[in-house]
Amino acid sequence: DIVMTQSPDSVAVSLGERATINCKSSRSILYSSNNKNYLAWYQQKPGQPPKLLIYWASTRQSGVPDRFSGSGSGTDFTLTISSLQAEDVAVYFCQQYYRTPYTFGQGTKLEIK
Amino acid sequence: QVQLVQSGAEVKKPGASVKVSCKASGYTFTSYHLQWVRQAPGQRPEWMGWINTGSGYTKYSQNFQGRVTITRDTSASTAYMELSSLRSEDTAVYYCARELGTAVDAFDIWGQGTMVTVSS
């Protein structure tokens, strides 16, 4: 199985500041034939299912604010929130869909400082 | 609007089976694969398997050692996930989720979740 590891486990950021979450896969999830990274990012708030934010590592899902962006390739990826808003407090997960079983990172809890 | 509505919470004894339903609406049911994901309290989501809602073809995670079965009823636009030989570690919220599109197994639409509690 491809193991997804996020860092940090939790982070506190001031309102309006930048938040950065990292995700590392145990093997490359870049498919050479189409040059796409099979990585998604989700936001989960208590009592709710995960919400898709980013897919193909950097494509923002429809309706997601542009303060959310994704980057990286191969095995190392980053989710950036450019200017933290109060409603961004949540747990964030990365997920690889390169190979089954699809696997998720352990989550990063984002709080307000 | 596009939505997935799941069946209600279940309490089961160890060794029993549970079957969770997921009814789709607002789109053509057979045009998108459906996935099943579970999440134990405070843990990361865990992928269980998916079904091609058109053909009925399924693929499962080997981590469930043959205990999971996913089926669908196209006339009812509903998918089902059955988990057998339940143990306490199976206590979790179970979600169905729709793939974003062909070959894009990121999940854009999720059901509300079904809490399954396994307790003697």
Query: Which pLDDT score, from 0 to 100, does residue B45 have?
Result: 98
Query: Which pLDDT score, from 0 to 100, does residue B87 have?
Result: 97
Query: Alpha carbon B43 to chain centroid distance?
Result: 17
Region B33-58 average pLDDT: 97
Torsions phi, psi for B76 (to 5 deg): -110, 5
Region A64-76 average pLDDT: 98
Best of B20, B47, B96 to mutate (most A CBs within 10 Å, chain A): B47
Which chain A positions have a beta carbon within 8 Å of B111's beta carbon?
49
The tens digit of pLDDT for each residue in B68-83 reads: 999 999 999 999 999 9
Q: Do A103 and A96 contact (CB within 8 A), yes or no? A: yes
Region A59-87 average pLDDT: 97
CA distance B47 to B61: 7
Which chain A positions have a beta carbon within 8 Å of B62's beta carbon?
101
Residue of A nearest to B37 (CA): A102
Cβ–Cβ below 8 Å for A49 and B61: no
- Of B22-26, B61-65, B90-94, which range is least confident? B61-65
Cβ–Cβ below 8 Å for B59 and A40: no
The tens digit of pLDDT for each residue in A98-112 reads: 999 999 999 999 999
Indicate the pLDDT class of residue B95, thresholds 50, 70 and 90: very high
Region A2-13 average pLDDT: 97
Cβ–Cβ below 8 Å for B111 and A49: yes
